[in-house]
Amino acid sequence: MADAGVLYVWGADDGIYRYDGATGALVRVWGMSALSSETAYGPYVLGRHGGITLLHWDGATEAKCPGGSFAAISTRGTCAFTGAGGDSAVYVDRGIGGVQMLLPADWGAGSYAWSPDGLELVIVRSERRTDPVPALEPSSRNTLWHLDRRGALTKIFDSSNAMSFLYGLKWSFDGRVAFWENATTSNSIAADGGATTLHVVDVHTRANVDLGTTLGSRAWAQWSVDGRLAFVSGGGRETWGNKQLVVLERDGTRRIVAGDLGQIGGSARAAIAPAWQPIFGTPARLAWIEGPAGGIGASPDYFRAVGPIAQRVAVLETLSGRSQVTCPGLVTEGVRWSADASAALLLCRAPGVEQHALQVWYAPIGGTPRALVTGLGDLGFGYYGLQPSLFDVVAWSLADR
């Protein structure tokens, strides 16, 4: 299916597969890695034991990072990584001048993310507490720092809750960062989103917007190229109820796109998995997954893909209004736009109790959806906030060109 382009797909066996639309061939080309980021040249994959590799769309591979237990690569090819073994210092490799230390081991750097232009970093820091530490509380706390292009470090977020940890850093194109704050050590409370909050902080003004309770799924908060944030509001460990799709506009206002927060049954709807048109288009178009809302008691029907609870569809904002797309006979779980909005990818699963085999379909706008990759295996979905995302499991050549 030549018009579908090239896909790199992460399978349940932890392998990376290359699908060639011109030939229809599906070949395992890499392993022990996760898709990290996507570029016009191909995706970067992060090795389970460190290092980053660029998988070119034509199938060639290129090592891009010398190693380390954690790494992040910028659009300029600049690599930041944490040292190997017990070395917790952060290093940078700009491709010239050799590897240099960016932050010493005792600074306490955790996760970090490059700005879209590849010149700045935001860094989660573990700071030792100076106040008396009550029993059962951690001796350090998470804070968020900004490393600007001149090398200056500034603290831009400090939680009022000493139990909080920060994760899921996502930059906008205009200097804001979205991230989650989890204020509990209880996996059960966290699974319900009861202590998980989505924040947006401006790295220059330090202004903080609290977007309230959300499940901390990386795929459920997406920046558009024109500076809007689409996110899923609402808690609950099931993903088919109490979920509302909201857009934070550039002026700070919030617009409810779909979903009925807190309502269950009847005509109530739940909306998840936002996806913006990635490059072209002004303003960028949005797509998402929507279906009837239900309580936790509906979980058996959802897992078996029967009844109203499993009637989910991909909704796409097109020039002529909203349209719905599905994989015929399957449950539709995810959607992604091509760069020019002429087509979309769909993530779907076959009904069944024992084996929930995931599939990737190609859907030309106005045309008939067709299966590209089937039998990905069970990657987890639907419960405890788990929902496989096309941004996590598929890199697509038509999305970044």
Confidence check: pLDDT of 285 > 80 = yes
Q: Which of 64, 72, 65, 60 is nearest to 6 (CA)?
A: 60
Range of the domain at 284: 237-245+253-401
The residue with greater pLDDT, 170 or 329, is: 170
pLDDT at 78: 92
pLDDT at 368: 94
pLDDT at 401: 59
Average of per-residue pLDDT values in the chain: 87
139 pLDDT tier (thresholds 50, 70, 90): low
Confidence check: pLDDT of 360 > 60 = yes
CA distance 242 to 261: 5
Evaluate whether residue 133 is within a structural domain. no
357 pLDDT tier (thresholds 50, 70, 90): confident
pLDDT tens-digit readout, 301-317 = 887 888 888 889 999 99
Using DSSP, state whether 126 is helix, strand or coil.
Answer: strand
381 pLDDT tier (thresholds 50, 70, 90): low
The residue with greater pLDDT, 290 or 378, is: 290
Task: Judge whether 154 and 145 are in contact, CB under 8 Å.
Answer: yes
Q: Stretch 342-348: mean pLDDT, rounded?
A: 95
pLDDT at 111: 94
Q: Among 55-64, 123-132, 237-246, name the most confident range.
A: 55-64
339 pLDDT tier (thresholds 50, 70, 90): very high
Evaluate whether residue 60 is within a structural domain. no
Confidence check: pLDDT of 262 > 70 = no
Evaluate whether residue 358 is within a structural domain. yes
Which whole-number Å values give the CA distances from 287 to 8, 35, 367, in the listed order? 21, 22, 17
Evaluate whether residue 184 is within a structural domain. no
CA distance 207 to 361: 41
The residue with greater pLDDT, 191 or 176, is: 176
Confidence check: pLDDT of 154 > 90 = yes
pLDDT tens-digit readout, 43-53 = 999 888 778 99
pLDDT at 296: 80
Using DSSP, state whether 393 is helix, strand or coil.
Answer: helix
The residue with greater pLDDT, 176 or 185, is: 176
5 pLDDT tier (thresholds 50, 70, 90): very high
Q: Stretch 4-33: mean pLDDT, rounded?
A: 92
Provide the number of structural domains found in the chain. 1
Confidence check: pLDDT of 258 > 90 = yes
Evaluate whether residue 300 is within a structural domain. yes
Q: What angle do CA 236, 241, 244 make, to 5 degrees?
A: 95
Evaluate whether residue 145 is within a structural domain. no
228 pLDDT tier (thresholds 50, 70, 90): very high
pLDDT at 281: 63
Evaluate whether residue 266 is within a structural domain. yes
Q: Stretch 92-106: mean pLDDT, rounded?
A: 90
342 pLDDT tier (thresholds 50, 70, 90): very high
Which whole-number Å values give the CA distances from 110 to 70, 88, 99, 269, in the listed order? 9, 9, 19, 38
pLDDT at 303: 79
CA distance 32 to 230: 31
Q: Stretch 384-391: mean pLDDT, rounded?
A: 76
Evaluate whether residue 71 is within a structural domain. no
The residue with greater pLDDT, 320 or 176, is: 176
